[in-house]
Amino acid sequence: MTHAETHFEAQKDAIRAYAETHDLNVVRWFEETETAAKSKRPIFNQIIKALRQKKADGLIVHKIDRSSRNICDWGRIHDLADIGVDIHFAHEALDFNTRGGRLAADIQAVVAADFIRNNREESKKGQIGRLKEGLYPYTAPLGYLDNGKAKLKTICPVRGPLVRLMFELYASGEYSYVALTEEMNIRGLTTRTGRKLYVANVELILTNPFYTGIIKIRRTGKVYSGKHEPLISQDLFAAVAALREGRNIKKNTKHNHTYRGLFRCADCGNAMVGELQRGHVYYRCHTRGCVTKCISDRMIDEQVRNILFQYGLSDDAALEIEQRVFQHLEGRSTQSSGEQAELQLKQIRTREMKLTEKFLDDLIDETLFNEMKENLLIQRAKCEETLRQKAEQSIDANKLRQFLERAKSLHLSHVFADPAQKRQITKITTSNRRVSGKTVEIEPQNWLVSLNSNDPSNIVHTIRSQLEHGLWDSHGQF
């Protein structure tokens, strides 16, 4: 038997003993699982309704604070007594039918209600204290894990990367909320209870700055600097916000064809629209009078693979790049840029202190204070992000070799990729994708060309950029 069940049985035993002593007959038992501090409790409402319908002559409750810890429900118990219902409390020796008995009961009920109010205030103080420490005292947003009271939220190894991917897909401008919701459900992102996502879930995630390291309480508008590890960068969050506010055009994808939106007509410049015909996908230009008609996805596949094969690295070239990269990094200094970020961070902290002093001196109102503080926290997060990047200037040898291996086999990766991966490979490796008549015209991305350049600095920049947000995600997949 659980602790709660044992507790209920003890209360029932006390009520039975009281009923026998006072020659009362219990005709029905009610067990309310909701705390007495809450109003509109379902079982309590059933009790009130049954007594008003005269289904019993009275009510026996274990203790006064078990019946109600809020003034509203306590008033409803008084109403029952006023219409002739006998009210009994098994634990308290008082007569609710007398003026003195009611007064004693009222005092205990008020004390119980005040006890709850005090607990709530203390709880709020504790929550505010943890927020000021950079800890989030509520349930972790999707993509993070709860690790116990007063402990940091950590990124979930399963849902975290998928939530990051959600931001990246939306920032691409190719997904509406509806299309993005469908895409993430296909990719396996679920709620904590394992249920599928809805548009409301996606909107809540994309508008939550918690993923950038900033805690914002929606109810009050107050913001705090979190100590948890950011899941996305401030720049990515800002790009998503720009799309949501309509500063960029967002597409609503109805069909997830592999090359949707990637190719344009060389004659008129309009996008080639994918259509499914007899089990095959064809991309057509719908401009009247245009010489470009249609091209099959198989022809596009062939041209993409030709480009990838042409610019793929040989074993000797990959080895030479690896050596040149590490030689270049050994002689490179990033002290000045790091010092600049440190200086900016100190200035921001000083401005935060001055802003708080102005608020405490009533020189600015709370709304303006929260807005200015949020802006400062965003600036601080960017500086801290810069410092983290400077601290990680060196490129991990294993990641570098993994990158070079992938660069050597891009065309094979495209051959064996699923449609989503194939689309991603094409998007990050090619540019100026056009269709002229029945010819596919494609150029390699600059970073792919840069790998064969003689500029070590350019190569290092290219590789670092691709390691951060290019060839693969956190699972090592395209």
pLDDT value of residue 395? 61
Mean pLDDT of the region 45-51: 84
Mean per-residue pLDDT, 165-182: 86
Q: Band the pLDDT of 358: cuts 50, 70, 90.
A: confident
Please tell me whether residue 433 adopts helix, strand or coil conformation.
strand
Quote the CA–CA distance of 87 and 93 in Å, as a whole number. Answer: 12
pLDDT of residue 155: 93
The model's confidence at residue 116, banded by pLDDT at 50, 70 and 90, is low
State the maximum Cα–Cα separation within the chain, in Å, rounded to a whole number: 100
Q: Which residue has the higher pLDDT, 45 or 455?
A: 45
Kindly state the tokens that stand for 453.
Answer: 């350049």
Q: In the prediction, which pLDDT does 474 show?
A: 38
Q: Determine the average pLDDT of the residues in 415-429.
A: 83
Top-confidence residue, 448 or 67:
448
Check residue 315 and give its pLDDT.
77
pLDDT category at 63 given cuts 50, 70, 90 is confident
Q: What is the pLDDT of residue 465?
A: 67
List pLDDT tens digits, range 246-296.
644 444 445 568 888 788 888 888 888 888 777 788 888 877 778 777 888
**Greater confidence, 436 or 450?**
436
pLDDT attached to residue 6? 61
pLDDT score for 136: 86
Q: Which pTM does this prediction carry?
A: 0.43
Q: Tell me, rounded to whole angstroms, the distance of Cα 328 from its chain centroid.
A: 39
Q: In whole angstroms, give the CA distance from residue 68 to residue 75.
A: 9
- The alpha helices in 133-233, defined as continuous H runs, are 159-171, 177-186, 199-206
Q: Which of 11, 7, 36, 34 is nearest to 109 (CA)?
A: 36
Q: Give the tens place of pLDDT for each residue, 131-142.
A: 788 888 888 999
Beta bridge partners of 283: 274, 295
What pLDDT is recorded for position 476? 40
Residues contacting residue 253 through CB under 8 Å, at least 6 positions apart: 174, 175, 176, 179, 260, 261
User: Average pLDDT for residues 100-106, to the nearest whole number?
Assistant: 74
Average pLDDT of 117-124? 65
Which percentage of the chain shows pLDDT scores above 70? 79
> Lowest mean pLDDT: which of 35-49, 302-316, 351-365, 415-429?
35-49
State the average pLDDT for the chain. 78
pLDDT at 283 (0 to 100): 87
Q: Which residues of 107-146 are buried (b: 16+ CB within 10 A; e: fewer)?
A: ebbeebbeebeeeeeeeeeeeeebbeeebbbeebbbbbbe
Q: Kindly report which listed range (101-105, 126-130, 145-149, 310-314) carries the lowest average pLDDT score.
A: 126-130
Helices (H), 285-418: 297-310, 315-330, 335-360, 366-391, 397-408, 410-416
pLDDT of residue 396: 62
Euclidean distance between CA atoms 245 and 335, whole angstroms: 38
Q: Is pLDDT of 162 > 90?
A: yes
Q: Which has the higher per-residue pLDDT, 211 or 394?
A: 211
Which band of pLDDT confidence, cut at 50, 70 and 90, is reported for residue 457?
low
**Most confidently predicted of 62-71, 215-224, 320-329, 457-466:** 215-224
pLDDT at 163: 93
Give the model's pLDDT for residue 230: 92
